[in-house]
């Protein structure tokens, strides 16, 4: 009877051991760079805070460069070992954008498991050294952002919508062509629908200072965005948002909100503009405007677009949204873009460089209709059509001054000067001669006196009178009625007239300084309202 006791003990013991062995799942091998914080028999493996396994053993790999951690998985968790299952160690991490895992300072590190979606089977994994920012299975929208420059947008930077944090940047990579930076952004599920096809993304990191004709504007984002960088998105006013954007859709990341808002156009048409003047101050990305509305931007400035080297004009390639331009033409113009352009150019559409900002000296391209412009046609250079250009206000001023100077140069000043010199010479000689003559008169007078006492004096007055007559003729030709003086006066008159026209120009400049800039005929462009984005 009492033997029941040991038999019972054996049965219970056996059952317990069996149960323990049966509850063990497979063994997974994960390799990490370091086993910091991991201890065999103590460190747990968790998935969403539920224990799914325990570290059994730690071993250095054969090449001594990594650590292989053997994990005894629980049976119920065997199905979590899939092809793209991820493992990482949760330990305290402090960085500018992320403070995580601090709880593990007290509780000890553990290994987090994120099950993948691939097929089951593998037991060997490469552990991640840093935790992935968002759990892959968290629902939300994942989008691609392209930026020309990384700036201060980092992995882990938040994504804002109307000032609220709705997601974060997951990865940052160089684009395959090496010319732009690609970001993967994650937007949480409840905000996913806010991203539409026409939504614009812009960089809100850092402080935005812009100076324009209206003054200096300083815009600061949240403190966190200043430190950690951030991106924001929204739909500019007046633009139809469109349908919700699907996963994986690509967006351009604008450098700041203004650039995003002013990018209402969809540039599709590339046009070449050839400028005779220097394009210094014009940069890639500079705006192309029509009557103050941005319709495009400068894509490239390069001599490559001109076939031969003889043409010294500077080619500027711009891309514009023709739909915005079409609306400007009276009467609907249907047909291809090329036909529309041709019609527009016939009506006076020209490109010009205008100054955007005094302080920075940047230029932008302005398209406008110049009804008085000389008739020109579209020309084709290689792949691109060239729209004719006109010089800008500054150039026009240059032209005017050149014309005035030319006129001044045309004046026969040399001749006049020469004549004056000759006349002076002649006057000198004449005076010398006159002096001589007076001397002679003196001697003559002395002789005359002698002669007066001389009986031959009586015959002198008629000779003297004759001589005085000649002298008078000579002096009178120099005098105010003389022909020589008349020439001199005429020359001086002409000079006076030229100087007068210069004076009127300077007066008009005094009165209206802007005429120096815009010229008298200001082509009716309104003064732009919004400050320009500096590039």
Partner 1 sequence: MTPRLPRAIDQGLASCHVCGKVTPVNRGRCPRCGESLHLRKPLSVQRTVALLLAALALYLPANMLPVMTISELGDVMASTILEGMVEFWHREAYPIAIVIFVASIMIPIVKIVALVWLCAAATGKVHPSPRVLGRIYWFTELLGRWSMVDIFVVSILVALVQFGAYMTVTPGPGALAFAGVVVLTMFAAMSFDPRLLWDRLEILNASETLQPTPNRE
Partner 2 sequence: MKRKASIATWPKPQGAPHPVACHFCDTLHDGAAVPEGTAARCKRCGVLLYQNRPASLVRVTAFSATALILMGIVNLFPFLSMEANGIRTELSLFRAARELIREGSPAIGWCVAIFTLVAPLAMAGGMLYVCAPLLKGRAAPGARHVARWLGRTEPWNMIEVFLLGVLVSLMKLGKMAELTFGVGFWAFGALMLCMAAAVAGIDRNELWDRLEVAEE
Q: Which CB atom, from 105 or from 417, has the smaller least distance to partner 1? A: 105
Q: Contact, 251 vs 144, CB < 8 A?
A: yes
What's the count of helices (H) and strands (E) in the chain, helices before strands?
Answer: 11, 26
Measured between alpha carbons, how far is 435 from 429 in angstroms, rounded to an integer?
Answer: 9
* Distance in Å, CB of 50 to partner 2, minimum: 12
Q: Which two tokens stand for residue 390?
A: 């006109």
Q: Which two tokens stand for residue 287?
A: 């705006």
Q: Among partner 2, partner 1, none, what does residue 10 contact (CB within 5–8 Å per kind)?
A: partner 2
Binding-residue pattern over the window 99 to 138 for partner 1, x denoting contact by CB under 8 A: ------xxxx------------------------------
């793209």: which residue's tokens? 84
* Distance in Å, CB of 257 to partner 2, minimum: 43
Nearest Cα neighbor of 519 from 401, 393, 407 is: 393
Of these, 26, 37, 92, 108, which contacts partner 2 (CB under 8 A)?
Answer: 108
Q: Among partner 1, partner 2, none, what does residue 5 contact (CB within 5–8 Å per kind)?
A: partner 2
Q: Which CB atom, from 107 or from 443, has the smaller least distance to partner 2? A: 107
* Distance in Å, CB of 533 to partner 1, minimum: 53
* Distance in Å, CB of 168 to partner 1, minimum: 31
Q: Among partner 2, partner 1, none, what does residue 417 contact (CB within 5–8 Å per kind)?
A: none
* Distance in Å, CB of 10 to partner 2, minimum: 6
How many chain residues bind partner 1 (CB under 8 A)? 4
Q: Which two tokens stand for residue 260?
A: 């995003």
Give me the sign of the Cα torsion angle 372, 376, 378, 381: negative
Q: Which of residues 6-65 bind partner 2 (CB under 8 A)?
A: 6, 8-10, 12-13, 16-17, 20, 44
Strands 124-126 and 110-114: unpaired
Q: Among partner 1, partner 2, none, what does residue 475 contact (CB within 5–8 Å per kind)?
A: none
Q: Could you give the angle at which helices 413-452 and 483-511 cross, rounded to 10 degrees?
A: 140
Q: Among partner 2, partner 1, none, what does residue 20 contact (CB within 5–8 Å per kind)?
A: partner 2
Which 3 state secondary structure label does DSSP give 223?
Answer: helix
124 burial level (CB within 10 Å; 0-12, 13-18, 19+): exposed
Number of CB atoms found within 10 A of residue 17's CB: 10
Q: Among partner 1, partner 2, none, what does residue 16 contact (CB within 5–8 Å per kind)?
A: partner 2
CA angle 478, 482, 486 (to 5 degrees): 110
* Distance in Å, CB of 110 to partner 1, minimum: 13
Q: Which of residues 397-436 bind partner 1 (CB under 8 A)?
A: none
* Distance in Å, CB of 34 to partner 2, minimum: 22
Nearest Cα neighbor of 495 from 402, 387, 419 is: 419
Q: Among partner 1, partner 2, none, what does residue 13 contact (CB within 5–8 Å per kind)?
A: partner 2
Measured between alpha carbons, how far is 38 from 70 in angstroms, rounded to an integer?
Answer: 11
* Distance in Å, CB of 69 to partner 2, minimum: 19
Nearest Cα neighbor of 291 from 254, 329, 260 is: 329
Residue span binding partner 2 (CB under 8 A) among the ranges 2-10, 382-390, 484-492, 527-535: 2-10
Nearest Cα neighbor of 168 from 229, 243, 119 is: 229
Q: Which two tokens stand for residue 178?
A: 């090496």
Q: Among partner 2, partner 1, none, what does residue 105 contact (CB within 5–8 Å per kind)?
A: partner 1
Residues that bind partner 2 (CB under 8 A): 1-3, 5-6, 8-10, 12-13, 16-17, 20, 44, 103, 106-108
Residues that bind partner 1 (CB under 8 A): 105-108
């Amino acid at each position: 009877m009492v033997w029941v006791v040991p038999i019972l003990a054996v049965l219970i013991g056996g059952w317990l051991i069996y149960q323990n062995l049966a509850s063990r799942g497979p063994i997974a091998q994960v390799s990490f760079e370091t086993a910091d914080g991991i201890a065999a028999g103590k460190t747990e493996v968790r998935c969403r805070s539920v224990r799914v396994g325990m570290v059994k053993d730690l071993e250095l790999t054969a090449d001594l460069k990594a650590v292989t951690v053997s994990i005894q998985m629980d049976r119920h968790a065997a199905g979590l070992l899939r092809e793209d299952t991820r493992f990482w160690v949760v330990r305290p991490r402090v960085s500018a954008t992320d403070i995580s895992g601090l709880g593990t300072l007290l509780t000890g590190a553990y290994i987090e498991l994120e099950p993948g979606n691939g097929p089951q089977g593998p037991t060997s994994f490469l552990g991640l050294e840093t935790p992935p920012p968002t759990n892959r299975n968290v629902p939300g929208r994942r989008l691609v952002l392209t930026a020309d420059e990384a700036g201060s947008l980092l992995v882990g930077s938040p994504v804002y919508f109307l000032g609220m944090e709705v997601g974060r940047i997951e990865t940052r990579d160089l684009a395959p062509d090496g010319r732009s930076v690609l970001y993967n952004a994650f937007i949480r599920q409840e905000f996913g629908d806010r991203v539409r096809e026409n939504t614009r993304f812009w960089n809100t990191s850092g402080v935005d200072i812009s100076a324009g004709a209206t003054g200096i504007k300083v815009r600061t984002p949240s403190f966190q965005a200043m430190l950690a960088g951030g991106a924001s998105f929204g739909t500019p006013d007046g633009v139809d948002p469109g349908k919700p954007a699907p996963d994986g859709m690509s967006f351009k990341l604008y450098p700041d909100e203004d650039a995003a808002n002013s990018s209402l156009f969809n540039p599709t048409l590339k046009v070449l503009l050839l400028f005779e003047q220097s394009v210094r101050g014009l940069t890639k990305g500079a705006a192309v405007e029509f009557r103050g509305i941005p319709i495009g931007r400068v894509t490239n400035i390069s001599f490559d677009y001109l076939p031969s080297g003889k043409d010294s004009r500077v080619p500027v390639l711009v891309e514009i949204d023709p739909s915005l331009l079409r609306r400007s033409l009276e009467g609907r113009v249907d047909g291809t873009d090329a036909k529309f352009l041709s019609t527009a150019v016939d009506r006076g559409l020209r490109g010009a460089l205008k100054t955007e900002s005094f302080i920075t000296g940047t230029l932008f391209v302005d398209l406008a209709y110049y009804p008085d412009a000389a008739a020109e046609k579209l020309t084709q250079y290689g792949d691109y059509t060239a729209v004719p250009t006109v010089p800008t206000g500054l150039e026009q001023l240059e032209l005017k001054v050149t014309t005035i100077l030319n006129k001044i140069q045309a004046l026969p000043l040399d001749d006049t000067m020469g004549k004056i010199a000759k006349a002076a010479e002649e006057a000198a000689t004449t005076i010398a001669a006159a002096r001589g003559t007076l001397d002679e008169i003196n001697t003559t007078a002395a002789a005359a006196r002698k002669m007066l006492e001389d009986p031959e004096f009586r015959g002198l007055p008629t000779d003297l009178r004759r001589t005085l007559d000649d002298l008078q003729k000579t002096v009178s030709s120099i005098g105010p009625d003389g022909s020589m003086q008349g020439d001199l006066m005429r020359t001086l008159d002409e000079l006076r007239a030229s100087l007068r026209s210069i004076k009127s120009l300077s007066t008009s400049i005094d009165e209206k300084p802007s005429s120096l800039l815009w010229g008298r005929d200001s082509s009716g462009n309104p003064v732009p309202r919004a400050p320009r984005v500096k590039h």
